[in-house]
Structure 1
Amino acid sequence: MLIGIVSDTHDDLDLVEAAVDRFESADVDAVIHCGDFVAPFSAAPFDGGFDFYAVQGNNDGEWSLQPQIDEFGRYLGEMGELTFDGQAVAVYHGTSQPVVDALVECGSYDYVLHGHTHEQVHEERDGTVRINPGGIAIPPAQDPAEIALLDTDTGEVEFERP
């Protein structure tokens, strides 16, 4: 199964549309947004040809995302647990690093997906893979955002700029 991972899009519709285009061209089965859409309008482009899941970020407006996302996907709240191809996946925005570390170290998940730091991360600890796709560059003059593609069959993770 191919999963697209994105986070911290912060109402950047150009980034959102580029990410959705890339996910569609890769023919992903599902897309997971790890929070910080900011406003509900920036979630609408994710209504695509894939299953969609999202968690709440820490920016104003995130509290009002559930009705928008539930029209075409699944809103997981502050943290969610998913299973793809028998693999357990935790999804959390990443606001608290100790919570991220606890999710990774508890041994209950094959993958822990998060955002918040706007920095790409791919690491494995005791059989759990932690992935942060990055996010929009802060300040915007830096390199553009990253997305990630996860193949649950092979465990391969690829980072791309959409």
Structure 2
Amino acid sequence: MLIGVISDTHGLLRPEVLTALAGVEHILHAGDVGDARILDTLREIAPVTAIRGNIDQWGECAELPPTDVVELDGHLFYLVHSLADLDINPAVAGVAVVISGHSHKPAIEQRNGVLYLNPGSAGPRRFNLPVTIALIRADEAGIETELVNLL
């Protein structure tokens, strides 16, 4: 299964995102959506699981849950916007991947048998940080992750 992971769009959905996500079977958005129409556009590509971030204070985005868990191809994915708000022990809960955003810094890290993935920011560039998303290939053999630079 091919999964697209995006975060921190802040109201901007770049055409490069749509190209990079073409062919994914599910999309995970780790918050700071900024405009609910972004989720509508992403749903034209694949089903979307999305959470709210700290900027999603008004409108439809404010109605998104602060965290969510979804099982995809037999693996549990836990979405939380900021790792500082992680309210479970992912290893004990059987979570395979924790998806976060907030920092705008792309990162892939393994801790206690759990993969932590921050796809970075796909929205407006912040400082000198890259504009990125991530792709996950998940199957019964495991999980492979790659970061995709958009610009």
Tell whether the structures are fold-level matches, with TM greater than 0.5.
yes
Asked whether the 8 Å contact 1:89–1:110 carries over to 2, the reply is yes
Aligned to 1:21: 19
Change (3 A) 1:46 1:127: same
Higher strand share: 2
How far the C-alpha of 1:42 sits from its partner, in A, is: 3.4
Does residue 91 in structure 1 map to residue 79 in structure 2? yes
How far the C-alpha of 1:101 sits from its partner, in A, is: 7.8
The alignment yields a C-alpha RMSD, in angstroms, of: 2.2
Higher helix share: 1
Counterpart of 1:108 (choices 82, 91, 94) is: 94
Change (3 A) 1:48 1:41: closer
Aligned to 1:70: none
Alignment of structure 1 residues 11-160 onto 2, 5 Å: 11-14=11-14, 17-24=15-22, 27-61=23-57, 63-65=59-61, 77-94=65-82, 96-97=83-84, 99-100=85-86, 102-135=88-121, 136=123, 137-139=125-127, 142-153=128-139, 154-160=142-148
Paired with 2:108 and 2:119, the residues of 1 have a C-alpha distance of 8
Say which SS state the counterpart of residue 37 (structure 1) adopts.
coil
Asked whether the 8 Å contact 1:39–1:62 carries over to 2, the reply is no
Paired with 1:79 and 1:101, the residues of 2 have a C-alpha distance of 9
Letter matched to residue 32 of structure 2: D
How far the C-alpha of 1:44 sits from its partner, in A, is: 3.2
What is the TM-score with the length of structure 2 in the denominator?
0.84
Say which SS state the counterpart of residue 11 (structure 1) adopts.
coil
What is the TM-score with the length of structure 1 in the denominator?
0.79
How far the C-alpha of 1:134 sits from its partner, in A, is: 0.5
Aligned length: 146
Asked whether the 8 Å contact 1:6–1:33 carries over to 2, the reply is yes
Structure 1 ranges of 4+ moved more than 4 A: 60-63
Letter matched to residue 10 of structure 1: H
Letter matched to residue 29 of structure 2: H
Which runs of 5 or more structure 1 residues have no equivalent in the other structure? Answer: 68-74
